Amino acid sequence: MSNHTPSIPVETPPVTPKNILVVYLTRTGNTEAVAKMIHDEVGGKLVELELETPYPENYQAHVDQVSDENTRNYLPPLKTEIDDIGDYDNVFIGSPTWGMQLPPPTKSFLDKYDLSGKTVIPFNTNGGYGVGSSFDDVNERCAGCNVLEGFSVQGGRERDGILFVMEGNKETEVRSQVHAWLERILK
């Protein structure tokens, strides 16, 4: 009997619109704008993460609540339900930087859904201080995921009254950065 075993090619599933999920958290629309740019390029399903109990409108009250939740490791319950999570092999996850880390609702998402075996691609907008530990937090909270290089760009700075900035030249610039990043990571 021959010992020869025919080689079966093992391939990762191709990235096709059918198996892409783009989820995002946003307060002032910047991360949502980046999510839509990604979605325009790769297709798939676009879903906003929403809480059962929304954060306060007031910026400082919001900052204080997030800080308290992070201290207590509290994961606020999500209103968003993704029934067909098993159908997606590629999950883009977008969040603003909050308190130099991943926002509690994004942590809730990673806790609620089993993404093991999937390719996870984080993206971020921030007020000028960068991602902080956000991408590391995704890695830590996503056991068994293949986490790809993330994308981060400066968005608003609500503390200084600058809210939505993804328009005009800034939008054009970020769209081309998103395009270059996707070309790099999905090739």
Ligand X SMILES: Cc1cc2nc3c(=O)[nH]c(=O)nc-3n(C[C@H](O)[C@H](O)[C@H](O)COP(=O)(O)O)c2cc1C
Contact 155, 30 (CB under 8 A): yes
Shortest Å, Cβ 135 to ligand X: 14
Options 19, 112, 127, 141; binder of ligand X; rule CB under 6 A: 127
Q: E-assigned strands of the chain? A: 20-24, 45-48, 90-96, 119-126, 146-147, 151-154
Considering only 156, 174, 178, 182, the residue that binds ligand X (CB under 6 A) is 156
Closest approach, Cβ 106 to ligand X, in A, equals 11
Produce one character per residue of 18-51: b if its CB has 16 or more CB atoms within 10 Å, e if not. Answer: ebbbbbbbbbbbbbbbbbbbbbeebebbbeebee
Residue with tokens 């949502």: 32
Among 22, 38, 88, 97, binds ligand X (CB under 6 A): 97
Least gap, CB of 65 to ligand X (angstroms): 8
Exactly one of 19, 45, 51, 99 binds ligand X (CB under 6 A); that residue is 99
Per rule CB under 6 A, is residue 70 in the interface with ligand X? no
30 is an interface residue for ligand X by CB under 6 A: yes
| Rounded to 5°, angle at Cα 36 from 30 and 38 | 110
Cα end-to-end distance, the chain, whole Å: 41
Interaction of residue 126 with ligand X, rule CB under 6 A: yes
Interface contacts to ligand X, rule CB under 6 A: 26-32, 62-63, 66, 96-100, 125-129, 132, 155-158
